[in-house]
Amino acid sequence: MSSRQHYVLSEGISVFLKDKMPDNVQLQTVLQQVEKKIPQHLLYGVDAVYIGQFKDLIDRSVNAIYDNGAIYVTNLQDNNGDLLDDIVHEIAHAVENTYGYEIYADGLLENEFLGKRMKMKHLLEHEGYPVQKYDFFDVDYNKKFDDFLYKEVGYVKLNNITGHLFASAYGATSLREYFANGFEHYYLFNSRHIFQTSPVLFGKLQLLHLLEEN
């Protein structure tokens, strides 16, 4: 790995490498992929990216967070793809800050998400899970609900049960994660799957993709 500690992403977005990355992860290659795949105007909400070990990441047991214009990402990545996933997912949360009105104001995305949540509830109930303990109409992040999906059901099984509803199981966690998960899959994986499973979400992503700064 190069000893370089500071990189620049697109139009002046600083990327600071605080702690060493695994030898098989090439940060410059990942940043080039971000620039190639994500339209410039969707990066406006990102001021800087910090990569390393950070207390907030450790305390929350997460790989990345977006906070007040900055993306914080763990340096402990398995490969280039994992780092790319984490950065693009957090870019999606920055996009929410910039284009929140276009995404959420008409309520259509929330309605689509809640419809899927209720279908998921019925599917999980059929599998014998205690769904009555949880509020499936709460669109905000809830750790108890997240633990239920992640620890009690498990993402592998949840993907098998709800693969026709969400881009991946994590998208069921909250409305914001539904959007961010869809954004990630739209740009990195299979946009056709988003079109087939989540037409409203797909339409929002198409709209954002075509927007330009006024």
Instruction: Specify the pLDDT at position 4.
Output: 62
Task: Answer whether 115's CB lies under 8 Å from 98's CB.
Answer: no
Rounded to an integer, the average pLDDT of 103-129 is: 97
Instruction: Specify the pLDDT at position 214.
Output: 46
**Cα–Cα distances in angstroms (integers) from residue 19 to residues 5, 16, 22, 68, in the given order:** 9, 9, 10, 22
Output the pTM of the full model. 0.93
pLDDT tens digit sequence for 73-105: 999 999 999 999 999 999 999 999 999 999 999
pLDDT tens digit sequence for 34-61: 999 999 999 999 999 999 999 999 999 9
pLDDT tens digit sequence for 185-197: 999 997 888 999 9
